Amino acid sequence: MTQASIDFAGLNAWADRLTETARHAGTVIMGIYNSDFVVSEKADDSPVTEADRAAERVILADVEALAPAFPIVAEERVAAEGLPKFEGESFWLIDALDGTKEFVKKGQDFTVNIAFVQKGIPVLGVIYAPVHDALYVGVTGNTRQRRAEVWRGGVRAAIHCRPRPKQVIVAGSKSHEMSDNMKAFLARHDVAERTKLSSSLKFCLVAEGKVDLYPRFGPTSEWDIAAGHAIVRAAGGRVHDQAGNELRYKKPDFRNGRFLVEGCA
């Protein structure tokens, strides 16, 4: 299968398969969450657990079977082997356990993230929040082809970003918020409410129309945000840099600068 052959129908078929993959990974994560697990540190001083590694093994096996023609960039594989080198702008980005710090604290806001990037833009995203049993899917084709949904308790609901109200709701990070930058951002907006979460759930709330803006000032890796970007995009929102350009992927170090996630303007 060539990169050019992945159309909207094909992406949707992949998304259907990957919802089961994400749930399987979530079950593995919760089994470790409810045990006495060991926390280690990676070279960048970030925490890692067997849940990160075990969930990634589940996802890699399924993705490699589903679409072997496309490269995979996965957080723990990169930590162990370094960044892969490959041609083209279509590939997988995987963060099997986003929000490891929250997981270690026995919090609730951690997620499974699977994304497919085509021509530098995330066009498929699956996010599963195991504690909440909430599964988000976002797929985009051409300008009229969109699929954005959440599954809770086995019930599917379509989601969409809400039109920007006069007073906005702003999301920030529990662990990584840069307070001075956030204060300056908030001063430029009429803010009705603020909320703080960990992991890619901030993207999901924008996609659901529960949050209007999520600014990020500190560095992130592409696998942290690609699935959320795909879901926000499918729901009618945007993820863009300081110049207003949509965030693109496969940067030289797979790292992101500042960006803003926003719902419908």
Q: Where are the beta strands (DSSP E) in 130-181?
A: 134-140, 146-152, 155-158, 168-173
pLDDT at 143 (0 to 100)? 73
pLDDT at 2: 45
Total number of residues shown for the chain: 265
Average pLDDT of the residues in 237-254? 96
Q: Whole-prediction pTM value?
A: 0.96
Which segments of 85-237 does DSSP mark as H helices, in order? 100-104, 179-187, 201-207, 222-234
Query: What 3-state DSSP class applies to 117?
Result: strand
Give the span between the Cα atoms of 154 and 131, in whole angstroms: 15
Question: Which class is 3-158 in CATH?
Answer: alpha beta
Span 88-117, average pLDDT: 96
Retrieve residue 42's tokens.
């990676």
Other Cβ atoms closer than 10 A to 61: 12
Q: Lowest mean pLDDT: which of 18-22, 121-125, 171-175, 234-238?
A: 171-175
CA torsion sign, 261 to 160 to 110 to 253? negative
For the chain, the structural domain boundaries read 3-158, 168-262
Architecture of domain 168-262: 3-Layer(aba) Sandwich (3.40)
**102-138 CB burial, b ≥16 within 10 A, e <16:** bbbeebbbbbbbbbbbbeebbbbbbbbbbbeebbbbb
Domains 3-158 and 168-262 fall in the same CATH topology = no
